[in-house]
C-alpha cells in the first residue's frame, strides 16, 4: 500500500516559496530584480527540504517486509506521549507495510481476542507482548499453558521482575510441585458451582438419555455432599470427596458431623438424609455402595487422580495459597501449567476444573460495583485451549465483559473447539471482537478464516486480440483460381466480481511473526509481531523463577472451622481391597 505524502506547515511553505523564487529568477523578465544569492539559496534550501520530505517514507519506514495480499485498513490512533505508560490500550504489533503501531483499546479488548495458527509461528510471542504490557501497567493476568513449556514460566517471571512485580507471581504446576503454590479448585463456591466443576469432567450426555440420567443424579449427589460439608463448616479436598464416594462409613460419619454441628432440621442435613435413604437397605439401613457407585460412575477414580501423586501435593490442602477470585481482585499474575504430554487425561480434567473455578470467580466479580472491578481489565490467556475446555466455556465470552475481563484463547485450527462442540466453536467465533490469524496449516481453517474476513468487489479486466489469414487455390483447373483473406479482432471487457480480501493460500503462506488481524469485523491489518527479549545480564541477575509462598496457615480458608481429614482416617473408612479398586479406576 502506498501512502501519499501530505505537504503543509511553515517549513514546507518556506521550501515551496524558495523553489518558486528559483523558478521566477530563471525568467529573463525578473532576473535583474532578484539577487543571484536569493535564487541559488532558494534552490538549495527549498529543493533539499522537499527532497527529504519526498523520501520521508523511506527514512521512517521500519525494516519490515510489506505483505501485499490484504486490503489493509488505516492504523487506529492512540493518543500517547513518548515515555508515558499507556493504560487504555495494548499494542498488537506493527503494520507490515507502513510500520504504524496497531493498538487494541480496553473497551475492545474486553470483547475478547481469538488467536489461531500453527505451532511455532508466533501465537505465544504475540500473547507475550500483550502480557508484558498488562504486567507493566499493573493489571492482573491468568496464563493457562496447555503445552507446559518451561521457558514460558521463566519468561513470565522475567517480565514480572522487569516491572518490579515478581511478588505478584503465583504458579500452579502439578507437573513439578516443588515449583508450585497450593491450589484447591473445589473448595470455594456454592454447592451448585462446585458440583458443576466436578461434573464437567464427565463427557456430554445430551444425546444419551440413560447416561444423562446418571449424570444428573451424580450432580445431585455431589451438590448434596458439598452442601453438607459446608453446613458443618468442614473444609475438604479431592481425596476427601473420593473417600465419601467410595465408603458408606465415611458417608455416615459426614451425616453425624452435620447433625452435631448444626441440627437434623438443617436443610443440608435433611437433604443428605433423603439422598442417603435412597441407597439404604434392610432394617439396619446399610448403604448399598454398588448402587451408589453406579450413580457416581467413574467420578471417584477421576477425583482420586487429583488427590494422589504430584497432583495431590499441590491440591490436597484446606488453605490454598492461590484463590482465583482473590487473584483477580488483587491483580495477581497467575500461571497454570498443564502437563498434557505426560499426564494427558488428568491434565485436561484439571484444566476443565480450573476453567470452571475461573468462571465462578468471574461471576463473583460481576456482582461488584463498577469501581471495584479490575482496572485495567483483567487478562486471561488460554494457550492450546481446545484441549481442556468444556462446552460451558462459551458463557464466559458472553458475560466476562461486564466483569472487566478480556479473554484470549489460542488454538491451532477450528477443529480444536469444534471437537468439544460445534456450538462452542460458533459462540467463540461470534463473541470475539478481534481475531488474529497466524500461519494456518489447515485448508479448512484457512478457507473459513478467509470467508470470515470477507470479500470485496473488484473490477476484473480482460483483453483479447485475434489475427487470422486464409488462402485457397484450385490447382487441377487449366487456369488456376486463387483467393486470400485477412482478418483481425480486438476486444476489451470489464466485469465486477467478489474476491477474498485475504485468500486462503495467503493465510497459509504467512511467515513467522506475521499475522492478519481482523478488527471489529470490518478492518484488516497485516501485522508484524516483535519478539520480546531481555538481555543476558538482566536474565542472569534475576535468575530462575522463584515461587512466592505466603506464611503457612494451618487453619482452613474462609468460613471453614477445620478440615474433615478423611485421608488421615483412611484405614477406618476403606479396606486395602477398596483402595486398590480406586487406584485401578483412577489409572483407567
User: Domain boundary residue among 283, 316, 349?
Assistant: 316
Same domain, 339 and 456: yes
pLDDT digits (tens, 9 = 90+) for 491-547: 767 677 778 888 889 899 898 889 999 998 888 999 999 888 888 898 999 999 999
User: Domain boundary residue among 292, 316, 340?
Assistant: 316
Q: Assign 463 a pLDDT band (cuts: 50, 70, 90).
A: low
Among the ranges 67-81, 259-273, 321-335, 499-513, which has the highest mean pLDDT value?
Answer: 321-335
Q: Assign 10 a pLDDT band (cuts: 50, 70, 90).
A: low
> Does residue 231 lie in a domain region?
yes
pLDDT digits (tens, 9 = 90+) for 16-55: 676 666 666 666 665 566 566 666 666 666 666 666 666 5
Same domain, 360 and 449: yes
Specify the higher pLDDT residue, 135 or 468: 135
> Phi and psi at residue 100, in whole multiples of 5°?
-65, 140
> Phi and psi at residue 280, in whole multiples of 5°?
-85, 145
Among the ranges 335-349, 372-386, 450-464, which has the highest mean pLDDT value?
Answer: 372-386
Residue 154 confidence (pLDDT): 92
Q: Provide the grid cell at 237.
A: 479436598
Same domain, 282 and 357: no
Q: Which of 130-139, 294-303, 392-401 has the lowest mean pLDDT?
A: 294-303
Dihedral sign of CA atoms 198, 204, 209, 211 in order: negative
Rounded Cα distance between 323 and 304, Å, is 22
Residue 2 confidence (pLDDT): 32
Dihedral sign of CA atoms 131, 381, 515, 339 in order: positive
Per-residue DSSP letters for 219-280?
A: HHHHHHHHHHHHHTTEE--HHHHHHHHH-HHHHHHHHHHHHHHS-TTSHHHHHHHHHHHTTE
pLDDT digits (tens, 9 = 90+) for 256-307: 999 999 888 899 999 999 998 888 887 777 888 888 877 776 777 778 888 8
Same domain, 343 and 445: yes
- Report the length, in residues, of the chain: 588
Same domain, 297 and 347: no
> Does residue 583 lie in a domain region?
no
Rounded Cα distance between 199 and 222, Å, is 8
Q: How far is CA 97 from the centre of its chain?
A: 26
Residue 73 confidence (pLDDT): 43
Same domain, 160 and 27: no
pLDDT of 581 > 60? The answer is: yes
**b/e code 151-180 from CB counts within 10 Å (16+ = b):** ebbebbbbbbbbbebbebbbbbbbbbbeeb
pLDDT digits (tens, 9 = 90+) for 422-442: 888 888 998 999 999 999 988
> Does residue 563 lie in a domain region?
no
Could you give the C-alpha distances from 228 to 5, 241, 252, 255, 270, in angstroms and in order?
73, 12, 12, 8, 9
Residue 499 contacts residue 449 (beta carbons within 8 Å): no
Rounded Cα distance between 289 and 400, Å, is 41
Same domain, 358 and 445: yes
Inter-helix orientation angle 238-246/289-296, to 10°: 130
> Does residue 479 lie in a domain region?
no
Q: Which domain CATH number covers 131?
A: 3.40.50.300
> Phi and psi at residue 56, in whole multiples of 5°?
-55, -40
Same domain, 347 and 416: yes
Q: Provide the grid cell at 240.
A: 476427601
Name the nearest CA neighbour of 285 among 327, 255, 241, 320: 255
Rounded Cα distance between 390 and 387, Å, is 9
Same domain, 177 and 194: no
End-to-end CA distance of the chain: 58
Q: What is the pTM of this model?
A: 0.79
> Does residue 577 lie in a domain region?
no
pLDDT of 247 > 90? The answer is: no
Residue 60 confidence (pLDDT): 41
> Does residue 132 lie in a domain region?
yes
Residue 15 contacts residue 49 (beta carbons within 8 Å): yes
Same domain, 430 and 552: yes
Give residue 21's domain range.
Answer: 10-60
Cα angle 132, 135, 138; round to 5: 150
Radius of gyration of the chain (CA): 34
User: Domain boundary residue among 282, 316, 350?
Assistant: 316
> Does residue 74 lie in a domain region?
yes
Same domain, 232 and 293: yes
Name the nearest CA neighbour of 185 among 142, 154, 249, 216: 142
Residue 96 confidence (pLDDT): 81
Residue 279 confidence (pLDDT): 86
Helix (H, G, I), strand (E, B) or coil at 210: helix
> Does residue 586 lie in a domain region?
no
Rounded Cα distance between 365 and 382, Å, is 19
Same domain, 368 and 417: yes
Whose cell is 486395602? That residue is 576
Percent of the chain topping pLDDT 70: 73
Question: How many domains are contained in the chain?
Answer: 3
Name the nearest CA neighbour of 177 among 287, 310, 48, 271: 310
Amino acid at each position: 500500500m502506498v501512502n501519499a505524502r501530505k505537504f503543509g506547515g511553515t517549513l514546507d511553505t518556506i521550501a515551496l516559496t524558495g523553489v518558486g523564487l528559483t523558478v521566477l529568477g530563471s525568467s529573463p523578465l525578473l532576473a535583474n530584480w532578484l539577487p543571484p544569492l536569493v535564487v541559488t539559496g532558494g534552490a538549495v534550501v527549498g529543493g533539499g527540504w522537499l527532497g527529504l520530505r519526498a523520501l520521508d517514507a523511506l527514512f521512517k519506514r521500519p525494516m519490515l517486509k510489506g505483505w501485499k495480499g490484504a486490503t489493509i485498513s488505516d492504523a487506529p490512533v492512540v493518543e500517547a506521549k513518548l515515555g508515558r505508560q499507556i493504560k487504555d490500550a495494548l499494542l498488537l504489533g506493527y503494520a507490515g507495510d507502513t510500520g504504524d503501531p496497531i493498538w487494541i483499546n480496553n473497551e475492545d479488548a474486553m470483547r475478547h481476542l481469538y488467536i489461531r495458527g500453527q505451532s511455532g509461528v508466533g501465537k505465544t510471542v504475540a500473547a507475550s507482548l500483550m502480557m508484558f504490557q498488562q504486567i507493566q501497567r499493573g493489571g492482573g493476568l491468568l496464563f493457562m499453558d496447555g503445552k507446559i513449556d518451561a521457558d514460558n514460566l521463566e519468561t513470565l517471571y522475567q517480565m514480572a521482575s522487569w516491572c518490579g512485580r515478581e511478588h505478584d507471581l503465583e504458579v500452579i504446576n502439578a507437573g513439578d510441585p516443588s515449583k508450585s503454590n497450593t491450589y484447591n479448585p473445589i473448595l470455594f463456591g456454592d454447592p451448585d458451582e462446585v458440583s458443576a466443576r466436578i461434573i464437567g469432567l464427565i463427557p456430554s450426555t445430551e444425546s444419551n438419555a440413560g447416561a444423562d440420567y446418571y449424570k444428573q443424579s451424580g450432580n445431585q449427589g455431589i451438590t448434596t455432599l458439598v452442601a453438607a460439608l459446608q453446613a458443618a463448616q468442614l473444609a475438604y479436598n479431592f481425596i476427601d470427596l473420593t473417600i465419601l464416594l467410595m465408603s458408606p462409613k465415611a458417608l455416615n460419619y459426614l451425616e453425624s458431623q452435620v447433625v452435631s454441628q448444626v441440627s437434623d432440621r438443617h436443610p443440608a442435613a435433611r437433604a443428605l438424609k433423603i439422598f442417603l435413604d435412597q441407597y439404604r437397605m434392610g432394617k439396619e439401613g446399610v448403604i448399598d455402595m454398588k448402587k451408589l457407585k453406579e450413580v457416581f460412575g467413574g467420578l471417584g477414580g477421576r477425583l482420586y487422580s487429583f488427590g494422589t501423586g504430584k497432583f495431590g501435593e499441590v491440591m490436597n490442602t484446606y488453605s490454598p495459597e492461590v484463590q482465583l477470585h482473590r487473584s483477580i481482585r488483587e491483580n495477581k499474575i497467575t500461571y497454570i501449567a498443564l502437563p498434557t504430554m505426560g499426564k494427558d487425561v488428568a491434565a485436561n480434567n484439571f484444566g476443565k476444573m480450573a476453567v470452571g473455578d475461573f468462571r465462578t470467580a468471574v461471576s463473583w466479580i460481576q456482582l461488584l460495583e463498577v469501581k471495584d472491578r479490575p482496572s485495567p481489565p483483567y487478562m486471561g490467556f488460554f494457550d492450546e485451549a481446545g484441549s481442556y475446555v468444556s462446552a460451558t466455556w462459551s458463557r464466559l465470552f458472553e458475560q466476562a465483559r461486564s466483569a472487566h475481563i478480556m479473554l484470549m484463547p489460542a488454538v491451532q485450527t477450528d477443529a480444536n473447539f469444534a471437537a468439544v462442540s460445534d456450538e462452542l466453536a460458533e459462540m467463540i467465533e461470534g463473541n470475539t471482537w478481534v481475531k488474529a490469524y497466524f500461519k494456518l496449516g489447515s485448508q479448512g481453517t484457512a478457507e473459513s478464516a478467509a470467508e470470515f474476513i470477507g470479500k470485496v468487489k473488484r473490477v476484473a479486466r480482460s483483453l483479447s486480440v485475434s489475427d487470422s489469414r486464409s488462402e485457397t487455390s484450385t490447382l487441377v483447373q487449366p487456369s488456376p483460381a486463387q483467393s486470400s483473406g485477412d482478418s483481425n479482432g480486438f476486444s476489451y471487457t470489464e466485469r465486477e466480481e467478489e474476491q477474498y480480501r485475504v485468500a486462503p493460500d495467503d493465510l497459509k503462506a504467512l511467515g513467522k511473526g506475521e499475522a492478519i488481524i481482523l478488527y471489529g469485523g470490518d478492518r484488516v491489518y497485516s501485522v508484524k509481531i516483535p519478539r520480546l527479549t531481555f538481555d543476558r545480564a538482566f536474565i542472569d541477575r534475576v535468575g530462575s523463577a522463584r515461587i512466592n509462598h505466603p506464611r503457612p496457615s494451618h487453619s482452613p480458608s474462609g468460613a471453614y472451622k477445620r478440615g474433615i481429614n478423611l485421608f488421615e482416617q483412611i484405614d477406618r473408612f476403606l479396606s486395602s481391597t477398596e483402595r486398590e479398586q480406586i487406584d485401578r479406576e483412577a489409572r483407567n
